[in-house]
Copies of this chain bind each other. A is one copy, B any other.
Amino acid sequence: MIRKVVILSTGDELMTGRVVDTNSADIADKFYSLGLEVVAILKVGDTKDRLLWALQHGLELGDLVIGTGGLGPTADDLTSEVAAEYFGRPLKMDEEVAAALKRRFESRGLPWTLNNLKQALFPEGAEIIPNPMGTAPGFRVETADKKYLLWLSGVPREMEVMMQDTVLPWIAQASGGGEEVSACAFKIHGLTESRLDDILKPVLLPPEARLSFRAHYPDLTLRLTIWGGKEREKNFSELTARIREFIGPYIYGEGEVTLEEIVGKLLQEKGWTLALAESCTGGYVGHRITRVPGSSAYFKNSIVSYSNESKIQFLGVKRATLEQHGAVSRETALEMAEGVLRQADADIGLSITGIAGPSGGSAEKPVGTVWMGIARRGQSDARHFRFQGDRERVILGASQAALNFLRTALL
């Protein structure tokens, strides 16, 4: 029975502060939602004695130890070797993994070196955990006293897929299904974490339920989890309804969905095409729209115009408007949106113009001031925003607000 989990992260880059480890929080979140208890998170550098120390103490504290990192082909990737030594088993080549690695390199025309074969070596008796997103598969070892060591890639997107595809289904089975869990994720726009916490205070939770937040600017997710089987289902739907009562207008989606995916879906439902005119976001809104597979069906183009001249030339903004109201103004935002709509012959046009900083601000229009416009045929609208923080944060915040502005216009 798996109840207690220890998470290990390895890598010199964690010990020198060059990298903030997000993997362990991600893994802890997933395990917590399955009703397991994370008792410790241990991080050590890529040296043999430290890894051995972490393995030993992890397996003392937990029924299951899950580690990430150190599966690569280079000399400082020691995980398989150290695990083999710890369990007193030889390293063994997995022929299937080796063949797949070789094929992968050949198909890319990359030089094949013996180093790469290192990634096909695992402690004898280990189960392979496939890594569909990368070259380094992980592994699972069962100890004599029915404890488990699992090891995954340290690359976040590879780790996530390995968790989803292999680890979580296996855990659900190995822990006797664990306790049944109902979970719901609300994607939030327009509230800070502490404001959200405040607003939800009156929502009283039964002891078997839990609300948790995850903020990854500009993204904010609220998660409701209820432990227990079918008998809790009524509680669950009552609670989600109650949450919607309090924060409904701030919820833009439910589940693992992005704002750009929702906008894309709305555009497709309407059969509309989109054109963008970006200034301070420099192309980032276009990137977010087009990172969604299939976006070429509704995305026409984006004109990223940094200078006044290019706003006149490519978007037909009037020189008089720029002179009278400035590039960051309601009037310019409207003309940009109307201009790109007309030029691109699209169904809806969105414009963003603002001051991302660190320079360019004034008392009247401080850094973070952004105007956005939306134009449809015969109808347009503009909104003013003020974002806090450095250049990167203004760009991220403006892209999120722009997509949300577009979403509300499409509803």
Contact = CB atoms under 8 A, between A and B. Distances in A.
Interface stretch (A70-78, A79-87, A228-236, A239-247): A70-78
A293 interface: yes
A42 B39 contact: no
Given A17-B25, A73-B193, A301 B293 contact: no
A127 interface: no
A182 interface: no
A93 to B, nearest CB: 17
* Majority secondary structure, A binding face: mixed
A357 interface: yes
Contacts of A389: 133
A16 interface: yes
A218 to B, nearest CB: 13
A362 interface: no
A76 to B, nearest CB: 7
Interface residues of A, number: 104
Interface string A203-224: 0000000101111110000010
Contact of A192 (B110, B195, B217): B110
Interface of A: 12-22, 24-32, 37-46, 50, 53-54, 57, 61, 72-76, 108, 110-111, 113, 115-116, 133, 155, 192-195, 197-198, 210, 212-217, 223, 276, 278, 281-287, 289-291, 293-296, 299-307, 310, 313-314, 343-344, 356-360, 386, 388-392, 395
25 contacts: A13-B214, A15-B38, A16-B28, A17-B24, A18-B29, A18-B213, A20-B21, A20-B25, A38-B45, A42-B42, A73-B193, A73-B194, A115-B198, A116-B194, A155-B215, A155-B217, A282-B290, A282-B302, A283-B283, A287-B287, A290-B306, A294-B359, A299-B306, A301-B307, A303-B303
